[in-house]
A and B are shown apart, each in its own frame.
Chain A
Amino acid sequence: MPAIELENVVKIYKIGEVETRALDGVSLRVDQGEFTTLVGPSGSGKTTMLQLMGCLDRPNSGTVIINDQDVTRLSKNQRADLRRERIGFIFQFFALVPVLTAYENVELPLLLNGVKPGARKQRVLGLLDSVGLAPRAKHRPDQLSGGEQQRVAIARALAPQPLLVLADEPTANLDTENGAQAMEIMQRLNQETGTAFVFATHDPRVVSYARRVVKLQDGRIIDNGVQTSGA
């Protein structure tokens, strides 16, 4: 069953008179429970593809289908609703809200989804425990290490029980040990929850965890991916 499908997606950025085809007729299907990596050199279109998959942007042409629905036709607010309920994000720069504690950062998507306080607390504590940060729940991002912050971001991405988690260079700002720890946690949560994970990365360490590697070059998919054994 597909978590997301892209069909013949084209994305063009226009800066002044110059047009850049960031994605040039890309088609891809990611099934539920997949642990997939998008690889390719800088400018190959990895981040653009993640943004289109995450309904953060709209393609110039083509369709992006989530839950049998073409999300390119949705309004800005409808896309926000879809992201809130169905999609989790992990960013290279951790992207925690600096004024909120680890607990509150994980709680935020649940608040936006209107989850009741009791269920919210149980879910947040469970997620923080699963990323090994229950004792650090009351710490703010500036009191956490980079690795800890990224683990909070992983917990936050999974909080609304999404269909799909999109991670853009999730280990780029982490050292080897923390990077490996983050990947192991994501791999474990992928297996436990069945949530599909899609990573964009340059990092061979991340690629080594993936069960499927999709290669991009100049805005096109040059290899649709093969199922690897994973770490």
Chain B
Amino acid sequence: MFKMIKIAWRNMWRNWRRTAIALIAIVLGLILLVFMDGLYGGYDEAIFANAVRLYGGNLQIHAPGYRARANRLPLLPVQEADQVVGTVMERPEVLLASKRIKTAGMIKAGGEIYPLTITGIQPSVEAPISLIAENIIAGRFLQDGDEDMMLIGQGLADELGVSAGDRVTLAGKRKNDTIRQRTMTIAGIYNLGLKDAEKAMVFISLAEAGSLFNLRNQTTEVTVSLQEVGMEDTLIGELQSDLAGYEVDSWLTLNPEFSQIIDLGQTFSAVLGLFVVMIACIGILNLMMMAVFERTREMGVLAALGMKGRQVMGIFLLEGTMIGVVGAALGCTLGWLAMLAFNLAGGYDISSFTDAGEIYALIGDAFYATIDPVSIIQQGLIIVMMAGLASLIPAWQASRKEPADALHHI
């Protein structure tokens, strides 16, 4: 086998210019693919890591029946919420689990109605990883014992013309579907650069929410923050079996708009990958077909020496696959280096785009390419596999030549 590999390797370089052209096509395509994939990964990670922090954890656990009516924020108490938190926190992937009460509400001011979500949080639990806590621009973050205090966004404060310390009347839906209204002091104002989100979310303490909405000492949601985005799918299944009788959902399930963004990115990446693989395959197919044509008489000689069709086929398959291996190794390495250089140069600066929409605002000033060795190796392996497949037809043609015919080939 080693000798066959040696023959295939040397054959590969017989017409080095032609091989180099095929390799350049593979390498450039793979650099593009690896780099774009890293860029998409980084983009997704930047958006989603912040989105997860903003919208309430990677996973959310609710009482049965919540999922079907999630868009109406039903106030279904999670039974034995502390036990649920304890079970979840046993998982090493879990960074934090906290209890929340989330209900629909509104603020009326100057004849305008501002519909919003009122979220009761455990301030001391969430503060260490809260995006809101990080972005308080006036006043302070909530405290566990706060009563009649709330956090509002800059966008809402601008609309209402209020600032920290002012009092605003908040109305929210109670457990029995009646409305509870209370005038509260603005403890702090957060600014995420997301005007829409800032208008739509106000935060109060969990104790206050329980008292206001007939859910004293109760919880409607347990939010779970993971060490990193992307671990959700594996953990959901495991948690769901540990927590039978509860609904465990990914933040993506409950925020389908983000799911669409991820799908779009993945689709674009897959289409790009398909083009790269096609270019590589066509290059190798063309190269190998020419090689088979040029070496027909040599195949006749090998057959005369007693080499069987499948052995001749093996040599050509190996040759095509080796082009894929060399191309993949170079392409993956250079793609990886390109990402490294990109990240060292400060990533992609999007500070000028932050007013362009909620998505860009979630990223911050810049995002970086995600360097995922497993993904890079997978892309390289796909190229190698496809190179082998592209060589299959020419190799099969080579194996079927009759020795006498092949020897007469000029």
Contacts and interface: CB of A to CB of B under 8 A. Distances in A.
B10 interface: yes
Nearest to A91: B301
A84 B3 CA distance: 17
Interface stretch (A95-103, A192-200, A215-223): A95-103
Interface string B301-323: 11111111101000000000000
Contacts of A89: 301, 304-305
A32 interface: no
Interface of B is mostly: helix
B301 A80 contact: no
Nearest to B400: A76
A80 B401 CA distance: 13
B308 A83 contact: no
A97 B302 contact: yes
Contact of A76 (B10, B298, B301, B309): B309
Given A80-B307, A97-B298, A99-B11, A56 B3 contact: no
17 contacts: A56-B303, A56-B402, A56-B404, A76-B308, A80-B306, A80-B307, A80-B309, A81-B308, A83-B306, A84-B307, A89-B304, A97-B7, A98-B14, A99-B10, A104-B3, A109-B305, A156-B305
Interface string B113-150: 00000000000000000000000000000000000000
A92 to B, nearest CB: 10
Contacts of A82: 306
Contacts of B170: none
A85 B301 contact: no
Contact of A84 (B11, B300, B305, B309): B305
Interface centre among B7, B303, B304, B402 (most CB of A within 10 A): B304
Nearest to B310: A77
B28 interface: no
A99 B304 contact: no
Given A91-B407, A160-B306, 12 more contacts: A56-B300, A56-B407, A80-B306, A81-B306, A82-B306, A83-B306, A91-B301, A93-B297, A95-B301, A97-B298, A98-B298, A99-B7
Interface residues of B, number: 22
Contact of B306 (A57, A84, A91): A84
A112 interface: yes
B324 interface: no
A80 B7 contact: no
Interface of B: 3, 7, 10-11, 14, 297-298, 300-309, 311, 402-404, 407
A108 interface: yes
Contact of A83 (B11, B304, B402): B304
A57 B305 contact: no
A170 interface: no
A111 interface: yes
Contacts of B14: 98-99
Contacts of A80: 303, 306-309
Nearest to A97: B298
Contacts of A113: 306
A54 interface: yes
Nearest to A160: B306
A51 interface: yes
Contacts of A98: 14, 298
A91 B10 CA distance: 23
A5 to B, nearest CB: 20
A108 B304 CA distance: 12
A84 B402 CA distance: 16
Nearest to A77: B308
A230 B70 CA distance: 103
A89 B304 CA distance: 7
For the complex of A and B, 7 pairs with smallest distance between CB atoms? A84-B306, A99-B10, A57-B404, A56-B403, A95-B301, A56-B404, A83-B306
